């Protein structure tokens, strides 16, 4: 569970969002962790810090956005649940190490790279392909869903993309990655 608070200020348009973000980071000791943009021109600024600092920063950011007439909503979530972290850090200004330092967790393993297999002298090419498939499948199954999603975003040729990757479970991701690599 995050021991810090999450602050959200939603504005209409970029000017209000920049004004709110500027006021929030200048007012209190908070970290700007990201922004979310939704149509039509709604922008949510996300900050992280100690609860009292986040509350005062959100109030300052909301007041600044209100001055330019573009405040939609504001909210503070003290100690958000751990499974909400993926949603919070979906589009982040921070690296995984900075997120880990802020949340007090161990950084996740870096994406495993798909290294070419060493050439082996096998008489039947189908068994070599089968072995490669098994090895690739084992690598994918060893990954967490979060790692699979990050890996899938970098793989070309997938039939799913964007939010579909975010919503896919582990089995669906493995199936799509296997299909992209080996066809079928």
Residue 31 is encoded by which pair of tokens?
A: 């970290």
Where does 63-181 show beta strands of DSSP type E? 71-78
Residue 121 contacts residue 83 (beta carbons within 8 Å): no
Among 94, 97, 75, which Cα is nearest to 34's? Answer: 94
> For 75-105, what is each residue's pLDDT tens digit?
999 988 877 777 776 544 555 666 566 555 5
CATH number listed for the domain at residues 5-103: 3.30.70.1710
| Confidence bin at 151 (pLDDT 50/70/90) | confident
pTM for this predicted structure: 0.49
For residue 129, is pLDDT > 60? no
Residue 177 is encoded by which pair of tokens?
A: 């990655």
For residue 41, is pLDDT > 70? yes
Where in the chain are all domains bearing CATH 3.30.70.1710?
5-103
């Amino acid at each position: 569970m995050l021991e810090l608070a999450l602050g959200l200020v939603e504005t209409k348009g970029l000017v209000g969002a920049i004004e709110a973000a500027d006021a929030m980071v200048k007012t209190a000791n908070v970290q700007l962790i990201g922004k979310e943009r939704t149509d039509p021109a709604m922008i949510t600024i996300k900050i992280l810090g100690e609860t009292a600092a986040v509350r005062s920063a959100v109030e300052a950011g909301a007041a600044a956005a209100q001055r330019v007439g573009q405040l939609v909503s504001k909210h503070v979530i003290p100690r958000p649940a751990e499974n909400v972290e993926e949603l919070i850090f979906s589009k982040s200004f921070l690296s995984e190490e900075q997120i880990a330092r802020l949340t007090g967790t161990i950084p996740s393993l870096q994406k495993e790279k798909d290294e070419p297999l060493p050439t082996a002298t096998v008489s039947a090419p189908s068994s070599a392909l089968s072995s490669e498939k098994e090895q690739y499948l084992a690598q994918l199954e060893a990954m967490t869903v979060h790692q699979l999603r990050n890996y899938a975003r970098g793989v070309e040729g997938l039939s799913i993309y964007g939010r579909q990757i975010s919503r896919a479970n582990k089995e669906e991701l493995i199936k799509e990655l296997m299909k992209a690599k080996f066809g079928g």
